Structure 1
């Protein structure tokens, strides 16, 4: 009996399986978390590119908010859950002070007109395990262009 106990104590079979069973959940959490973070970054880049497409359209027609929205949506085919608010126009002086676009004056020079274009989309993690660590959030693409 003592010889059998000595043989079992010296046996190393199954140790790596036990170690893998302890590490596998942590490894899965890290892999799925990095997949979700990468997916969120990729979607953010697509939203930025769509906002830039809207800005390119806005250079020729800054008052056409329907056309700007259409240009943004054309760059995001299949994305039905995006939110595109109307572009916001603002006038600012060289020192950063905001003035009225209708008759506003700056201390030095004339105010410049800026158009702000935003597009956003909700994002949630793809697996329940990663969702427990990564909260649901809204991804946003934003471009501000100077018209004159």
Structure 2
């Protein structure tokens, strides 16, 4: 009996069998985080592509929406809510919406801007039980057209 208690043959195999599920979960979790970050980057890129379309070709709701949805290889990205055109004045905190024809501080006329939005939902690879199984990413890009 004493020799069986001191026998360590096969201990590595048992340790390996215990650690494999934990290591596998860690690998899948890291891959899942990477895919979620990639989806977020795709949404941001799609909003930028829509704004660039509006700058190059003018405000066209269907054209901008098409540019957003075709900006990446993901079919989950939508142009939601739809693109919006408005008049505004640049400020230190962004663009403030004003009536068209308004004179901004500094004497310049209010410009025409477009705000483009993109949205997509990411579904985790496995259900972790302690975090949400879905994440909705939104991005918005505003560009001056005139």
**TM-score bin (small chain):** 0.7 to 0.9
Q: Which moved more, 1:90-99 or 1:22-31?
A: 90-99
- Structure index of larger Rg: 1
Q: Say which of 40, 62, 65 aligns to 1:66.
A: 62
Say if 2:145 is the partner of 1:147.
yes
Equivalence for 1:55: 51
- The within-5 A match list for 1:130-141 is 131-135=128-132, 136-141=134-139
Gaps of 5+ in 2: none
Instruction: Compute the RMSD of aligned alpha carbons.
Output: 2.4
When normalised by structure 1's length, the TM-score is 0.77
Task: Quote the Cα distance in structure 1 between the aligned partners of 2:67 and 2:135.
Answer: 25
Task: Quote the Cα distance in structure 1 between the aligned partners of 2:40 and 2:90.
Answer: 30
Note the C-alpha offset of 1:112: 4.0
Note the C-alpha offset of 1:118: 1.4
In the TM superposition, structure 1's runs of 4+ consecutive aligned residues that sit over 4 Å from their partners are none
Equivalence for 2:114: 115
Equivalence for 1:25: 21
Cα separation, partners in 2 of 1:13 and 1:109, compared to 1, 3 Å: farther
Cα separation, partners in 2 of 1:121 and 1:107, compared to 1, 3 Å: same
Residues paired across the two proteins, number: 141
When normalised by structure 2's length, the TM-score is 0.78
| 1:16-72: CA deviation from partner (whole Å, max 9, x where unpaired) | 223223322321221111111111122222222222221221013332111101112
